[in-house]
Structure 1
Amino acid sequence: MGQLERGLAPDEKLLVNRHTHWKTLIGPVGIAILATAAAAALIYFVDFGGNIFKIVVGALWAVALIWFLVAPLIKWGTTIFAVTNRRVMYRTGVFNKSGIDIPIARINSVQFRHDFIDRLFGAGTLIVESASDEPLEFNDIPQVEKVHNLLYDELNDALTEDDDAK
């Protein structure tokens, strides 16, 4: 049982639990490959300063790898979008965690948007309008249309339950 499941209320059911789409890692992986190729080329082809130059290039490569690949991987791994039968949750962070919960009963409308690239990858942006001033946009949600439909169904069920209670 994960951290998210332990934080649910006794009668709350987890319906969707996803990281952001893996396409967010394409840029960092591409940069890491380019940095590795550049560092290898410098070490192999440039004969300057001997071993000191190679150590400096290796250190710069390691810093670039941590900055451009490891940090985005950790951010991706710790960013979670979830939907339960009661709320929409978004969590992110390793050391400094932040999150937002939107009760299903407070949601006014649910929209999704995905451009051509998002459609190729099967991702998109989910837009949730609640009682707050601005709609919240959750970017790079995998299978955004399915999540949209599920959230809409839960919203409809919540409204029906409210009408039945009156």
Structure 2
Amino acid sequence: STYVRRFLIKNEKVIYQAYPHWLFYLDLIGLIFFLISVYLLLNEPVFIQNHIPRIILWIPWLDYVKISVWHLGLGTMIFVGLMVVWEAFIDNKTTELVITSKRIIHKTGLLNRTVIEIKLGKFEKIIVKQSFIGRIFNYGSITITGMSKVQTTIHHIVAPLKFKKQLWQYLEYDRIKPLYK
């Protein structure tokens, strides 16, 4: 994670990093919306060909264009579908969840960035939720609650139980480490 590594403090190192699951890089509803729209645009139903009204649009580089309401609607649906898919892709690419030697860092967003940091040892609980499908594909949601009731939930994380295990193992190691010096 480039963001987290840039802001590590002195003597802090990354212990474990979790990633969003690849299944959620594309928003399924947006993708279905997009594919159906493209299919209907390429395979216009016979009953629509002669019965749909046309409107005249002014497009600066094409001047006036006569277009059917059907094609205008499908073009809008394709645009909306692409934007939903793009938003899901960017959201997943900019999500970072890292355990460092001093804190847990959760960062989301590209232009509007949100960073939540919880000091190790200053959190109350970590909750892992996995659906049946999540257990099959090894993804789930992680909710971390800090002592000051700061709470962060990260959805669709790969191997959430491994994240939890890494966190508890590091905390246990850090607690008994002085005994071995």
TM-score (norm 1): 0.80
Moved more, 100-109 or 85-94: 100-109
Match of 2:121 among 85, 105, 110: 105
In the other structure, the counterpart of 1:14 is 14
Root mean square deviation, CA, Å: 2.7
Is this contact kept in 2: 1:129–1:136, CA < 8 A? yes
Match of 2:141 among 125, 136, 154: 125
Tell me, yes or no, if structure 1 residue 80 matches structure 2 residue 79.
Answer: no
Higher helix share: 1
Is this contact kept in 1: 2:123–2:147, CA < 8 A? yes
Q: What is the SS of the residue equivalent to 1:153?
A: helix
Percent sequence identity is: 18
Paired with 1:141 and 1:73, the residues of 2 have a C-alpha distance of 14
Go from structure 1 to structure 2 and tell me whether the alpha carbon gap of 1:103 and 1:117 turns closer, same or farther (over 3 Å shift): same
How far apart are residue 60 of structure 1 and its match? 0.6
Structure 1 unaligned blocks of 5 or more: none
In the other structure, the counterpart of 1:156 is 172
Match of 1:52 among 42, 67, 80: 67
Is this contact kept in 2: 1:39–1:57, CA < 8 A? no
Is this contact kept in 1: 2:15–2:99, CA < 8 A? yes
Paired with 1:123 and 1:23, the residues of 2 have a C-alpha distance of 9
Go from structure 1 to structure 2 and tell me whether the alpha carbon gap of 1:110 and 1:38 turns closer, same or farther (over 3 Å shift): closer
Larger radius of gyration: 2
In the other structure, the counterpart of 2:163 is 147
1:109-165: per-residue Cα shift (whole Å, max 9, x none)? 33423221210110122232321226543322211111111000122233335x76x
Go from structure 1 to structure 2 and tell me whether the alpha carbon gap of 1:145 and 1:123 turns closer, same or farther (over 3 Å shift): same
Which amino acid counterpart does residue 114 of structure 2 have in structure 1?
S
Q: What is the SS of the residue equivalent to 1:52?
A: strand
In the other structure, the counterpart of 1:94 is 110
Structure 2 unaligned blocks of 5 or more: 56-65
Go from structure 1 to structure 2 and tell me whether the alpha carbon gap of 1:62 and 1:34 turns closer, same or farther (over 3 Å shift): closer
How far apart are residue 30 of structure 1 and its match? 4.5
1:9-28: per-residue Cα shift (whole Å, max 9, x none)? 232111223332233346x2
1:75-130: per-residue Cα shift (whole Å, max 9, x none)? 11111111112111110111111110111121233342322121011012223232
Paired with 2:124 and 2:174, the residues of 1 have a C-alpha distance of 12
TM-score (norm 2): 0.74
